[in-house]
């Protein structure tokens, strides 16, 4: 949480990205503590590895420092506080943390836990639910990843044709980048 606040406060975007990696690693540790090794695994590799590198690559192309915000922060802060207060009020009706009679645990999950051993024959229930019971979902997610990759490719891949008219502007930004570095 402290790291999250620091991420918001800092205006040096390079430090923000580094702190963001630390934040991801901490939440991965939290997932291990909550008995979710699969998720922790993914979060550690993705958060601390890939997304940090991607953000750095973006920063290398854009500027490193954030400008001081022009507006006073009071209006967003008020909106956020009120929304947060309502949400905290809402949590009072949710069953407490770690309670075994939480409605989440009483519907399909026991069936997965009890019968997947015989039906699928794979000890890791997360894998069997992921690939077998919810195969459609996972297919969709795979297609989403694929589509996002294609989207990045469309946006950045072969964008050389319209370069000519932006030439002057680009040179300015190049100079700015040199100044910032």
Partner 1 sequence: MMQHHQILRVVTKFNLPLIMLFGLYVQFHGDFGPGGGFQAGVIIAAAFVLYALVFGLDHAREVAPEGALKIFSALGVLIYGGTGVLNMLLGGNFLDYNTLSPAHPAHGQHYGILAIEFGVGMTVSSTLTLIFFVLSGRKERGGDD
Partner 2 sequence: MDVLGHYNYWIVIFLMMAGLYTVISRGNLVKKIAGLNIFQTSVFIMFISFGYISGSAPPILEDGVTLYSNPLPHVLILTAIVVGVATTALGLALVVRIREAYGTIEEEEIHSQDRDF
Could you list the residues that contact partner 1 (CB under 8 A)? 37-38, 41-42, 45-46, 49-50, 53-54, 57-58, 60-61, 118-124, 126-128, 130-132, 135-136, 138-139, 142-143, 145-146, 148-149, 152-153, 156-157, 160, 163, 170, 174
Structure token pair of residue 2: 């402290």
State yes or no: residue 18 binds partner 2 (CB under 8 A). Answer: no
Among 15, 17, 25, 181, binds partner 2 (CB under 8 A): 17
Q: What is the DSSP letter of 34?
A: T
State yes or no: residue 132 binds partner 2 (CB under 8 A). Answer: no
Minimum CB distance to partner 1 smaller for 18 or for 130? 130
State yes or no: residue 29 binds partner 2 (CB under 8 A). Answer: no
Q: What is the DSSP string of 68-118?
A: PPSS-THHHHHHHHHHHHHHHHHHTTSPPTT-TT-GGGTSSHHHHHHHHHH
Left (φ > 0), alpha (ψ -120 to 50) or beta: where does 121 sit?
left
Angle between helices 2-9 and 13-33 (to 10 degrees): 160
Closest distance to partner 1 from the beta carbon of 153 (Å): 6
């Amino acid at each position: 949480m402290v790291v999250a606040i620091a991420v918001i406060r800092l205006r040096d975007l390079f430090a923000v990205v580094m702190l963001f990696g630390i934040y991801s690693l901490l939440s991965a540790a939290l997932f291990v503590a909550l008995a979710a090794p699969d998720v922790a695994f993914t979060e550690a590799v993705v958060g601390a590895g890939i997304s940090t590198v991607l953000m750095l690559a973006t920063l290398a192309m854009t500027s490193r420092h954030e400008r001081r915000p022009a507006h006073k922060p009071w209006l967003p802060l008020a909106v956020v506080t009120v929304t947060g207060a309502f949400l905290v009020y809402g949590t009072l009706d949710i069953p407490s943390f770690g309670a075994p009679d939480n409605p989440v645990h009483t519907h399909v999950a026991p069936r997965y836990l009890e019968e997947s051993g015989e039906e699928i024959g794979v000890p890791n229930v997360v894998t069997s639910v992921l690939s077998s019971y919810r195969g459609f979902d996972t297919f969709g997610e795979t297609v989403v990843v694929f589509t996002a990759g294609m989207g990045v490719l469309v946006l950045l891949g072969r964008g050389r044709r319209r370069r000519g008219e932006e030439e002057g502007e680009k040179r300015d930004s190049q100079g700015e980048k040199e100044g910032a570095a």
